[in-house]
Amino acid sequence: MEIIVNGDPLEVSEGITNIEELIQELRLEKKSLIVEHNQTILKKEKHKDTAISEGDRLEIVHFVGGG
Amino acid sequence: MLVNNRYHRQMLFDPIGETGQKRLQESHVVIVGVGALGSSSAEMLARAGVGTLTLIDRDYVEETNLQRQQLFSEEDVRMQTPKVIAAKKRLEEINHLITIYAEVIDAGVDELEAIAPEANLVIDATDNFDTRLIINDICQKHHKPWIYGACVASYGVTFTVLPGETPCLHCMMDHIPSDGATCDSVGIISPAVQMVVSYQVTEALKILTGNLDTLSGKLIAFDLWKNQQMELQVASLKDDTCPSCSKKQYPHLTYQAQLKTAVLCGRNTVQIRTNGKKVMHFEEIKKHLERNQQIKLFSNPYLLSFEIDKYRVVVFGDGRTLIHGTKNVQEAKKVYYQYVG
């Protein structure tokens, strides 16, 4: 399945079905994130219940501390 | 002529104009942290003619800063000049018409409580979330806009917090990340710094000149190396149960008051803060240390530093001590008690 993450195409395995699993696959689970799924901001409690489908567009922004 | 011409090109820019320039001259901006982000912000705002700048930083200039922290020189490294002192000197060479306050202090609750209410705007240029969350709550309490900015590697992120209007940092962050990604572990390239600052200063100019309708309202992030640019409309994240911006409990102002030691990420350094407003008596400390032949001492009017065994210890006038050479708080405290007392 191909989705778009931060503007770039990303091939994800069939085992990945929801946002929470995708975040783990991308090894971002330890970061403090804001996720936008098809132009809707998702609160963290919705990550598990939000299914991913072919062609979905995701924007993932994480907070960093450096400066 | 210099005075009349200096802001001409900026005043030609229609949204600023003569009125906007006058507003900038009457403005006071506090910049918290004068490392890479803070140096760049300070230089842009000084050149733009912001009338008063207060610079806050606890650190002094080191060689590894020179790659990106644009206000500092090799001489500042040699002299271990506090960053805000070096920055003020350089900024006064650039623009003698503005007033610059340099504060060699750790931006804690008490320090920001004393300074932030005077400001029109606070620019975040710190290197840690503890301080950012204090800024967040202080600015909510005193109803001041502040502009979050941060970067690491080739990635940067920024957001303008307007109390009562936008979500605050507490609304947006579900936890304080502990992934160990800092400028000292995964590096930083200068363009990522400058990009964050470009957004921050543009937003600052909009606020200060009263162009609030053109503020982005978005959480903006980018990765220059990966050619990625993200802009998220995050208004829906404003949480009407948030203790910082809705309930006005300001949790980060009470929590931080307890903090006495801090490991400076990636620097192999522990900072120790004494209680309250203790003044360090450099001469007394020096006198004691000079008796130990193993100790190499250095001092300037702002700090005293010495080397012993594998440690380098730097004592600041406001009661802080940096123990370089360990990440272990207990070990650092031991060195502190042994040599500073």
Strand partners, B218: B233
The answer to whether the Cβ–Cβ distance between A67 and B150 falls below 8 Å is: yes
How far the first Cα of chain B sits from its last, in Å, is: 56
Q: Is the dihedral of CA B215, B220, B225, B226 positive or negative?
A: negative
Boundaries of CATH 3.40.50.720 in chain B?
2-256
Tell me the H-state helices in chain B: 2-5, 8-12, 17-25, 36-48, 74-79, 83-94, 109-115, 129-141, 169-172, 190-208, 251-255, 282-289, 329-339
Whether A55 has a pLDDT exceeding 90, the answer reads: yes
pLDDT (0 to 100) of residue B186: 74
Boundaries of CATH 3.30.310 in chain B?
260-339
pLDDT (0 to 100) of residue B179: 53
Strand partners, B321: B272, B315
pLDDT (0 to 100) of residue B339: 80
Catalytic one among B151, B168, B171, B183?
Answer: B183
Determine the Cα–Cα distance for residues B182 and B327; give it in Å rounded to an integer.
15
Give SS3 for A20: helix
Determine the Cα–Cα distance for residues A32 and B58; give it in Å rounded to an integer.
26
Q: Which residues of B touch A67 (CB under 8 A)?
A: 33, 35-38, 124-127, 149-151, 183
Residue of B nearest to A60 (CA): B230
- Tens digits of residue pLDDT in B105-138: 988 899 999 999 999 999 999 988 878 999 999 9
pLDDT (0 to 100) of residue B340: 79
pLDDT (0 to 100) of residue B51: 98
pLDDT (0 to 100) of residue B275: 54
Determine the Cα–Cα distance for residues B190 and B193; give it in Å rounded to an integer.
5
Q: Which residues of B touch A31 (CB under 8 A)?
A: 177, 179
Residue of B nearest to A63 (CA): B157
Domains of chain A: 2-62 (3.10.20.30)
- What was the ipTM of the complex prediction? 0.94
- Tens digits of residue pLDDT in B165-182: 999 999 999 887 655 466
pLDDT (0 to 100) of residue B258: 47
User: Could you confirm whether B139 is annotated as catalytic?
Assistant: no
pLDDT (0 to 100) of residue B279: 57
Q: Which fold has domain B2-256?
A: Rossmann fold (3.40.50)
Give SS3 for B53: strand
Q: Which residues of chain B have pLDDT under 70?
A: 1-3, 177-185, 255-259, 265, 274-280, 341
Residue of A nearest to B38 (CA): A67
Give B 282-321 residues with CB within 8 A of chain A.
none
For the domain bounded by B260-339, which CATH number is listed? 3.30.310
